[in-house]
Amino acid sequence: MRLLNVRILSAAAAVAAAGVLVPAGTAAAMPDPPGDSWDHTFTAPGVTVYVEEYGDRISVCDSAANGSSAQVNVWADGGWRYKAVASGGSGSCVTHSASEGGAYNLPEGAFIELYYKGVSTGYATRSTYVNDH
7-63 tens-digit pLDDT: 444 444 443 444 443 333 333 344 456 566 799 999 999 999 999 999 999 999 999
Residue 33 has what pLDDT? 63
Model pLDDT for residues 109-120, shown as the tens digit of each residue: 999 999 999 998
Model pLDDT for residues 72-111, shown as the tens digit of each residue: 999 999 999 999 999 999 999 999 999 999 999 999 999 9
40-44 vs 79-86, strand pairing mode: unpaired
Burial class for 67, CB neighbours closer than 10 Å (0-12, 13-18, 19+): exposed
* Cβ-based neighbours of 83, under 8 Å, separated by 6 or more: 71, 72, 73, 74
Q: Is 0.85 surpassed by the pTM of this model?
A: no
The letter for the amino acid at 55 is G
